[in-house]
Structure 1
Amino acid sequence: MAVAFLLYVVAEIAAVWAVGSAVGVLGTIALLFAGAFIGSWLARREGGRAFRAFAESARLGRPADAERELTDGMLIGFGGLLILLPGFVSDVIGLLFILPPTRSVARKVWQKRMQRRAVKFANRSHGPVMVVDSEVVTDTPPAESAKKQPPVIEGRIVEG
């Protein structure tokens, strides 16, 4: 993690240096402020859209859509934070999280990662678990399962 942060800082310095060499100090400062202003406006606009879509999905009772919209809101918030950091590299990465086409790719990657982590956490806490559908299925006999019910995690759970 420290190496990634160090590489990020070096990339930011190199980008600011290159832009400063091309357009001068005042141009670089103006570009940094313009990027922060336009990026924060875009983040606010896309965040409002994501919130309205989340509220509509929640109102209609569609949990899959609500999960997608909630993830979109998180990515937009993270992108807005990156845009507000001074630097051109963070602005570009932030814009990638805010713009809808690239945000959908980031959402899919994030959701796959979280699903793997949820299964890994469930395996560590409750024994081997596999997410399949929307039911809870266990291999324990009925008398034993009445004594020891596993916690219900959204999705179909197969223990054993």
Structure 2
Amino acid sequence: MAVVFLLYLVAEVAAVWAVASLIGFLPTLGVLLAGAFLGSWLARREGGKAARAFMTTARSGRSPHAEITNGMLVGLGGLLILIPGFVSDVFGLLLLLPPTRAVVRKAWVRRIEKRAPVGYPAQGRVIVVDSEVVSENRGDQDPPPRMIIDSQ
């Protein structure tokens, strides 16, 4: 993980250096600030849309899985926009745009479904556990046996 973070830092510094050498230092700062303002506006707009979609779906009684993942991706995109640098801004803007966010969401859900445990119940599947109801009024009977769990 440290290597990935180091590569990210090198990519950010190289991108800022390349843009600054092409257009100058002050215009580079202007582009970074404009990206931050545009990204924060877009994150606020898309976050509001995701929240409204979640509320609508939840009120209708349907499962809001897609709306929750959209909201999470909008939040991640907004966070990436707040991090200074061109690489994080590009990835953040891609997560904030609905067409690219839909592609990322599908890939993310597919990966999660693939990594889910084998015994994990599918959505809508009911698992019935055989059980017995025991009355608390036992009178002079022996206390119920205690379950001993061996942690080995």
TM-score range, shorter chain: 0.7 to 0.9
1:1-160 aligned within 5 A = 1-63=1-63, 66-117=64-115, 119-120=116-117, 129-132=119-122, 134-136=124-126, 145-147=129-131
1:20, 1:109 → 2: CA distance? 35
The runs of at least 4 aligned residues of structure 1 exceeding 3 Å deviation read: 130-133
1:2–1:107 CA distance, 2 compared to 1 (3 A): same
Which has the larger strand fraction?
A: 1
Which has the larger helix fraction?
A: 1
Aligned-pair CA distance for 1:147: 4.3
Aligned-pair CA distance for 1:72: 0.4
Describe the superposition over 1:93-148 as per-residue Cα deviations: whole angstroms up to 9, x where unpaired.
0011110010001111221233334x32xx5xxxxx1544522358xxxxxx4149
> Which of the pair has the greater relative contact order for Cα pairs under 8 Å at 6+ separation?
2
Aligned with 2:124: secondary structure? coil
Aligned residues: 132
Describe the superposition over 1:46-97 as per-residue Cα deviations: whole angstroms up to 9, x where unpaired.
110111011000010110xx11011101000100000111000000000111
Aligned with 1:136: secondary structure? coil
Tell me, which stretches of 5 or more residues in structure 2 are unaligned? 133-152
Identity of aligned residues (%): 58
Aligned with 2:84: secondary structure? coil
2:34, 2:123 → 1: CA distance? 47
RMSD between superposed Cα atoms in Å: 1.8
- Aligned partner of 2:136 in structure 1 is none
2:25, 2:120 → 1: CA distance? 56
Q: Which TM-score applies when normalising by structure 2?
A: 0.80
2:127, 2:5 → 1: CA distance? 43
2:35, 2:29 → 1: CA distance? 10
2:120, 2:58 → 1: CA distance? 27
